[in-house]
Amino acid sequence: MANREALRELQARLASRLQAARAEGMSVAWLAVQAAGRKYLFPLSQSGEIVPLTHVQPVPYAVNWFKGVVNIRGGLFGVVDLASFMSAETGESIQNSPASEPSVVTLNAALDVNCALQVDALSGLRGVDAFTQSHGPAEGSPAFFGNVFVDSAGEAWQEINLRILSQSPQFLSISA
Protein backbone atom coordinates (compact mmCIF):
# COMPACT_ATOMS: atom_id res chain seq x y z
CA MET A 1 0.00 0.00 0.00
CA ALA A 2 2.86 2.38 0.81
CA ASN A 3 4.43 1.59 -2.58
CA ARG A 4 1.19 2.48 -4.34
CA GLU A 5 1.02 5.79 -2.47
CA ALA A 6 4.67 6.53 -3.30
CA LEU A 7 3.97 5.78 -6.98
CA ARG A 8 1.02 8.18 -6.96
CA GLU A 9 3.21 10.87 -5.39
CA LEU A 10 5.93 10.31 -8.01
CA GLN A 11 3.37 10.53 -10.80
CA ALA A 12 1.95 13.74 -9.33
CA ARG A 13 5.46 15.26 -9.05
CA LEU A 14 6.30 14.23 -12.63
CA ALA A 15 3.03 15.72 -13.89
CA SER A 16 3.63 19.01 -12.09
CA ARG A 17 7.27 19.18 -13.30
CA LEU A 18 6.13 18.46 -16.84
CA GLN A 19 3.51 21.21 -16.59
CA ALA A 20 6.11 23.63 -15.22
CA ALA A 21 8.60 22.67 -17.94
CA ARG A 22 6.05 23.36 -20.66
CA ALA A 23 5.08 26.68 -19.07
CA GLU A 24 8.66 27.86 -18.56
CA GLY A 25 10.09 26.44 -21.77
CA MET A 26 12.70 24.39 -19.91
CA SER A 27 14.92 21.98 -21.81
CA VAL A 28 13.27 18.83 -20.50
CA ALA A 29 13.26 16.43 -23.40
CA TRP A 30 12.61 12.90 -22.12
CA LEU A 31 10.75 10.73 -19.69
CA ALA A 32 13.31 8.28 -18.27
CA VAL A 33 12.08 4.73 -17.59
CA GLN A 34 13.55 1.33 -16.82
CA ALA A 35 12.51 -2.12 -18.03
CA ALA A 36 14.30 -5.36 -17.16
CA GLY A 37 17.42 -3.53 -16.04
CA ARG A 38 17.65 -1.46 -19.24
CA LYS A 39 17.32 2.33 -19.26
CA TYR A 40 15.21 4.10 -21.87
CA LEU A 41 14.32 7.68 -22.78
CA PHE A 42 10.91 8.50 -24.26
CA PRO A 43 10.57 11.92 -25.95
CA LEU A 44 8.05 13.94 -23.96
CA SER A 45 6.33 15.14 -27.13
CA GLN A 46 5.57 11.50 -28.00
CA SER A 47 4.72 10.30 -24.48
CA GLY A 48 1.31 10.40 -22.91
CA GLU A 49 -0.06 9.63 -19.49
CA ILE A 50 1.61 7.57 -16.76
CA VAL A 51 -0.68 5.24 -14.80
CA PRO A 52 -0.23 2.21 -12.53
CA LEU A 53 -0.78 -1.08 -14.32
CA THR A 54 -4.02 -2.67 -13.15
CA HIS A 55 -6.62 -5.08 -14.49
CA VAL A 56 -5.08 -6.11 -17.80
CA GLN A 57 -7.51 -8.20 -19.83
CA PRO A 58 -5.48 -10.83 -21.72
CA VAL A 59 -5.99 -11.24 -25.47
CA PRO A 60 -5.94 -14.80 -26.83
CA TYR A 61 -3.57 -15.75 -29.65
CA ALA A 62 -1.34 -12.71 -29.15
CA VAL A 63 2.45 -12.64 -29.05
CA ASN A 64 3.96 -12.99 -25.57
CA TRP A 65 5.02 -9.31 -25.33
CA PHE A 66 1.43 -8.11 -25.86
CA LYS A 67 -0.06 -8.36 -22.39
CA GLY A 68 -3.65 -7.46 -23.27
CA VAL A 69 -5.86 -4.41 -23.01
CA VAL A 70 -6.54 -2.03 -20.16
CA ASN A 71 -9.12 0.69 -19.59
CA ILE A 72 -7.50 4.07 -18.97
CA ARG A 73 -9.97 6.87 -18.34
CA GLY A 74 -12.62 5.20 -20.47
CA GLY A 75 -10.34 4.35 -23.41
CA LEU A 76 -9.02 0.90 -24.32
CA PHE A 77 -5.25 0.68 -24.65
CA GLY A 78 -3.17 -2.27 -25.76
CA VAL A 79 -0.42 -3.03 -23.23
CA VAL A 80 3.04 -3.93 -24.55
CA ASP A 81 5.63 -5.31 -22.15
CA LEU A 82 8.55 -3.10 -23.21
CA ALA A 83 11.26 -5.46 -21.94
CA SER A 84 9.81 -8.50 -23.74
CA PHE A 85 9.27 -6.55 -26.94
CA MET A 86 12.84 -5.23 -26.90
CA SER A 87 14.14 -8.73 -26.29
CA ALA A 88 12.20 -10.02 -29.30
CA GLU A 89 13.45 -7.13 -31.46
CA THR A 90 17.12 -7.18 -30.50
CA GLY A 91 17.53 -10.87 -29.74
CA GLU A 92 19.03 -10.04 -26.35
CA SER A 93 17.87 -11.97 -23.31
CA ILE A 94 16.20 -10.03 -20.52
CA GLN A 95 16.52 -10.18 -16.77
CA ASN A 96 13.12 -11.28 -15.57
CA SER A 97 12.73 -9.25 -12.41
CA PRO A 98 9.06 -8.33 -12.16
CA ALA A 99 8.41 -4.89 -10.74
CA SER A 100 6.39 -4.72 -7.56
CA GLU A 101 4.36 -1.80 -8.94
CA PRO A 102 4.69 -1.72 -12.74
CA SER A 103 3.42 1.33 -14.59
CA VAL A 104 2.35 2.00 -18.13
CA VAL A 105 3.19 5.02 -20.25
CA THR A 106 0.65 5.72 -22.96
CA LEU A 107 1.73 6.96 -26.34
CA ASN A 108 0.72 10.51 -27.15
CA ALA A 109 -2.75 10.73 -28.71
CA ALA A 110 -1.20 12.51 -31.72
CA LEU A 111 0.49 9.22 -32.67
CA ASP A 112 -2.98 7.73 -33.26
CA VAL A 113 -2.23 4.41 -31.55
CA ASN A 114 -4.05 3.43 -28.36
CA CYS A 115 -1.07 1.75 -26.78
CA ALA A 116 0.65 1.78 -23.41
CA LEU A 117 4.18 0.55 -22.70
CA GLN A 118 4.66 -1.43 -19.49
CA VAL A 119 7.78 -0.35 -17.61
CA ASP A 120 9.31 -1.49 -14.31
CA ALA A 121 10.29 1.91 -12.96
CA LEU A 122 9.94 5.60 -13.67
CA SER A 123 13.18 7.55 -13.35
CA GLY A 124 11.92 11.09 -13.79
CA LEU A 125 12.43 13.71 -16.45
CA ARG A 126 15.75 14.30 -18.21
CA GLY A 127 17.17 17.07 -20.36
CA VAL A 128 20.34 17.11 -22.42
CA ASP A 129 22.16 18.70 -19.48
CA ALA A 130 21.73 15.43 -17.53
CA PHE A 131 24.13 13.63 -19.85
CA THR A 132 27.86 13.91 -20.44
CA GLN A 133 28.03 12.34 -23.89
CA SER A 134 25.97 10.73 -26.62
CA HIS A 135 26.47 8.60 -29.70
CA GLY A 136 24.34 7.03 -32.38
CA PRO A 137 22.65 3.66 -32.00
CA ALA A 138 24.65 0.48 -32.47
CA GLU A 139 24.98 -0.99 -35.95
CA GLY A 140 21.97 -3.13 -36.82
CA SER A 141 19.73 -1.56 -34.15
CA PRO A 142 15.99 -1.29 -34.77
CA ALA A 143 14.89 1.82 -36.69
CA PHE A 144 13.16 3.25 -33.61
CA PHE A 145 16.40 3.42 -31.61
CA GLY A 146 17.64 6.98 -31.30
CA ASN A 147 20.88 8.14 -29.76
CA VAL A 148 22.44 6.57 -26.70
CA PHE A 149 23.06 9.10 -23.92
CA VAL A 150 25.53 8.52 -21.08
CA ASP A 151 24.99 10.20 -17.72
CA SER A 152 27.64 11.31 -15.22
CA ALA A 153 27.45 7.91 -13.47
CA GLY A 154 28.40 6.18 -16.72
CA GLU A 155 24.91 4.69 -17.24
CA ALA A 156 23.74 4.40 -20.85
CA TRP A 157 20.20 5.49 -21.73
CA GLN A 158 18.70 4.38 -25.05
CA GLU A 159 16.39 6.92 -26.68
CA ILE A 160 13.27 5.36 -28.22
CA ASN A 161 11.46 7.22 -31.00
CA LEU A 162 7.87 6.33 -30.11
CA ARG A 163 6.52 7.64 -33.42
CA ILE A 164 8.70 5.24 -35.43
CA LEU A 165 8.06 2.43 -32.93
CA SER A 166 4.29 2.86 -33.15
CA GLN A 167 4.39 2.57 -36.95
CA SER A 168 6.78 -0.38 -37.23
CA PRO A 169 5.22 -3.55 -38.65
CA GLN A 170 6.69 -5.68 -35.83
CA PHE A 171 5.03 -3.50 -33.19
CA LEU A 172 1.69 -3.47 -34.97
CA SER A 173 1.62 -7.28 -35.52
CA ILE A 174 0.38 -8.78 -32.29
CA SER A 175 -0.98 -12.09 -33.53
CA ALA A 176 1.02 -15.13 -32.50
Of 9-18, 26-35, 145-154, least confident by mean pLDDT is 9-18
pLDDT band at 10 (very low <50, low <70, confident <90, very high): low
pTM: 0.82
How many folded domains does the chain comprise?
Answer: 1
Which tens digit of pLDDT belongs to each residue from 95-116? 666 666 789 999 999 999 999 9
Residue 53 · residue 79 · CB < 8 Å:
yes
Report d(CA 77, CA 137) in Å as an integer.
29
The sheet carrying 47-52 orders its strands as 47-52, 103-107, 115-119, 75-81, 66-72
Question: Which CATH number does the domain housing residue 151 bear?
Answer: 2.40.50.180
Residue 103 · residue 53 · CB < 8 Å:
yes
Q: List the domain range (segments joined by +) for residue 154.
A: 2-172
